[in-house]
């Protein structure tokens, strides 16, 4: 009896996994940047899940740019186009114009409200990164746009897991212990072992965490985030090489 029950439960979980995977493959790439569009694509109710905040969804790909072989795992979403992970590109593929990429990011930022805007746009090998801030320069979220497809996705890591404004379950997290200045000190100490000789170049506070650029001799080498309650450090290992000569 127990074996039968275990088998049925296992089969049920496998079936559920297939349904979720199929939904991710089929829906996100054609949905508009609206909260309703995201929820339809992922069968979500308002406020549920990691990326249901601020109208977060998957941006449309640029028409005509999806040549055979350019789809990443999970349809170019979290493991594909937006992150540059497990993505294949045809020989001779060229990135989209920076102006077009910024337009895609600005379209995404508009869903956060009338005062939201894009800030700190930074090109990396895998994608272009940007921050969404409000009218008072307070951080709202972090975005990525695929340099080859124009697809906009929420940045993974702290943006999904630590963001109090809509991350995974952190709305009721304990009170913050580290402001931006204290988080900067933690980041400096961490860099001593992580990348000797590197220094913090710029920082932006988000609900629940702070993200910093770091590098050597003014050049950006990467980014990391510091949890505002625990002080945990999360390096952004998904960007690839920085394409900036120096931080603005």
What pLDDT digit, counting tens, does each position of 1-11 carry?
556 555 555 55
Confidence of residue 192 (pLDDT cuts 50, 70, 90): very high
Considering the entire predicted model, what is its pTM? Answer: 0.69
Q: Residue 86: its pLDDT value, please?
A: 65
Average pLDDT, the chain: 73
* C-beta of residue 42 within 8 angstroms of C-beta of residue 23: yes
Query: Which letter does DSSP use for residue 118 in this model?
Result: E
Query: Which letter does DSSP use for residue 173 in this model?
Result: P
Confidence of residue 47 (pLDDT cuts 50, 70, 90): very low
Q: Residue 176: its pLDDT value, please?
A: 85
Residue 117's nearest CA partner among 107, 129, 127 is: 107
173 pLDDT more than 80: no
**What is the mean predicted confidence (pLDDT) over 19-30?**
36
**d(Cα 213, Cα 187) in Å, to the nearest integer?**
10
Rounded to 5 degrees, φ, ψ at 5 are -65, -45
**d(Cα 144, Cα 183) in Å, to the nearest integer?**
23
Cα end-to-end span (Å), the chain: 66
**What is the mean predicted confidence (pLDDT) over 187-206?**
96
* C-beta of residue 197 within 8 angstroms of C-beta of residue 188: no
- Residue 144, classed as helix, strand or coil, is strand
């Amino acid at each position: 009896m127990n074996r039968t029950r275990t088998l049925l439960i296992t089969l049920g979980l496998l079936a559920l996994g297939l349904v979720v995977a199929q939904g991710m493959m089929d829906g996100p790439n054609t949905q508009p940047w609206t909260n309703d569009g995201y929820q339809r694509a992922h069968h979500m109710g308002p406020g549920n899940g990691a990326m249901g905040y601020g109208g977060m969804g998957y941006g449309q790909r640029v028409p005509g740019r999806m040549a055979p072989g350019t789809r990443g795992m999970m349809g170019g979403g979290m493991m594909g186009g937006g992150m540059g992970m497990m993505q294949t590109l045809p020989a001779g593929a060229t990135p989209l114009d920076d102006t077009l990429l910024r337009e895609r990011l600005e379209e995404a930022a508009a869903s956060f409200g009338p005062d939201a805007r894009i800030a700190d746009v930074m090109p990396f090998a895998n994608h272009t990164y940007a921050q969404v801030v409000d009218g008072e320069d307070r951080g709202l979220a972090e975005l990525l746009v695929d340099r080859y497809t124009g697809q906009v996705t929420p940045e993974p890591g702290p943006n999904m897991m630590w963001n109090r404004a809509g991350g995974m379950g952190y709305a009721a997290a304990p009170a913050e212990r580290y402001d931006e200045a204290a988080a900067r000190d933690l980041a400096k100490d961490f860099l001593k072992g992580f990348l000797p000789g590197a220094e913090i170049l710029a920082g932006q506070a988000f609900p629940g965490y702070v993200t910093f650029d770091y590098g050597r001799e003014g050049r950006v080498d990467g980014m990391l985030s510091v949890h505002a309650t625990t002080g945990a450090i999360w390096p952004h290992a998904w960007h690839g090489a920085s394409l900036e000569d120096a931080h603005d």
